[in-house]
Amino acid sequence: MNDSCRLWSQWQLLDSILPTGGFAHSYGLEAAMQACLVFGPEDLRKYVVHVLENTGSLLLPFVHAATMSPDMQTWQKIDRMLDATLTNEVSRKASIAQGSALMRVAAAVFSEVPSIKMMRDASLGSSTVSLHHAPIFGLVCGLLGFDGETSQRAYMFITMRDVISAATRLNLVGPLGAAVLQHHVAPIAEDLSKKWMNRDIEEACQTCPLLDTVQGCHGYLFSRLFCS
């Protein structure tokens, strides 16, 4: 695949039209809203920043490792490590659901990279891999020719996009306000990307444990719009 065609594939991976199931999850925002932790625009902005901080500290090391070594052995190893790291059952199930969807879609869409389908077929029904989202995202990025830093920024971008999209559907912010918020948070996302970029998996950690606790309460909500 030449460089020009590769760019189109890379852009498509980040396109919200790709049916990877990200918009079924609110990153705990719905639970935080019902727990009265998020009321208005300023609360929402802080929440988005905290989600990005947690994403950078906990998940970027897994994205980075998979991007730099996009092979079956490395991917399965770090997938098992992430599965052991996630203690919140709600976020764990969300990660597996999104990862499974991304792997399925990537195998079907990016047919010019046959190793994606080959790895998916080999992992189906296997008890040794859980198909978590961050390692699969890094794996696909590596196979599509992303460099390590771009793949990590891309993961922060889709996280920011999805949580702000969830805020729109929860009526916390309108579509135009969501676009303005995303633009204003982008410099913070860049700073957080630089802060947590290129770290070893052993350094992965939670920096905002309250978010993890709130998301864990999502399954107890009486009524809910999102899966997590």
Q: What is the pLDDT of residue 18?
A: 86
Q: What is the pLDDT of residue 222?
A: 65
Q: What is the pLDDT of residue 216?
A: 82
Tokens 């948070």 correspond to 185
Q: What is the pLDDT of residue 204?
A: 96
**Domain 32-215, CATH:** 1.10.4190.10
Tokens 């922060």 correspond to 156
Tokens 């052993």 correspond to 202
Residue 49 burial (CB count, 10 A): 16
Reading the chain (228 residues) residue by residue, the pLDDT tens digits are 667 788 899 999 999 888 887 677 889 999 998 888 998 899 999 999 999 999 999 999 999 999 999 999 999 999 999 999 998 888 899 999 999 999 999 999 999 999 999 999 998 878 889 999 999 999 999 999 999 999 999 999 999 999 999 999 999 999 999 999 999 999 999 999 999 999 999 999 999 888 888 888 887 776 777 777
Give me the long-range contacts of 219-225 (CB less than 8 A, separation at least 24). 219/89, 219/90, 221/30, 221/31, 221/34, 224/30, 225/26, 225/30, 225/169, 225/170
